[in-house]
């Protein structure tokens, strides 16, 4: 049984919005950073082996910003969370593929990022479920 004061916090609209802002921070923060530091972001994507790094930066920023906005807005959360979840899964396969790396610190860091990304994907699914139940759809 959830105590009354905790239930009141969990049911507060402001808390729901704030937590969606927190959940998406890593995405909208990175998306804004990519745009503000466009040249640097292009160089990062080029160093990762992308043949059209400018397009990758634009697509990445757009996905992160639009997906985050949908989740924060509370409409089409399933779509925004889906965009961010697929994006996050692709970063695991393309960037943090620890299983294909030689032993060493980079492999360990990529493994930790992999596990964190899986947790974020789970949280995105969970917010989609919660918003679906809240809206009654």
pLDDT in tens, 82-130: 999 999 999 999 988 898 989 999 999 999 999 999 999 999 999 999 9
Report the predicted TM-score, pTM, of the whole model to 2 decimal places: 0.91
* DSSP string computed for 97-132: -GGGSPSSHHHHHHHHHHHHHHHHHHHHHHHHHHHH
Domain tally, the chain: 1
Domain that holds residue 82: 4-135
128's tokens: 């989609």
């Amino acid at each position: 049984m959830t105590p009354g004061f905790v239930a009141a916090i969990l049911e507060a609209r402001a808390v729901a919005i704030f937590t969606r802002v927190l959940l998406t921070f890593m995405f909208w923060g990175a998306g804004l950073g990519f745009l503000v530091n466009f040249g640097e972001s292009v160089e990062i994507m080029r160093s990762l082996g992308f043949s059209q790094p400018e397009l990758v930066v634009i697509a990445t920023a757009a996905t992160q910003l639009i997906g985050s906005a949908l989740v924060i807005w509370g409409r089409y959360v399933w779509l925004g969370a889906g965009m961010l979840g697929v994006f996050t899964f692709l970063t695991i396969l393309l960037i943090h593929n620890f299983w294909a790396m030689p032993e060493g610190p980079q492999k360990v860091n990529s493994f930790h990022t992999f596990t964190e990304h899986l947790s974020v994907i789970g949280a995105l699914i969970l917010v989609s479920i919660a918003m679906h139940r809240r809206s009654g759809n």
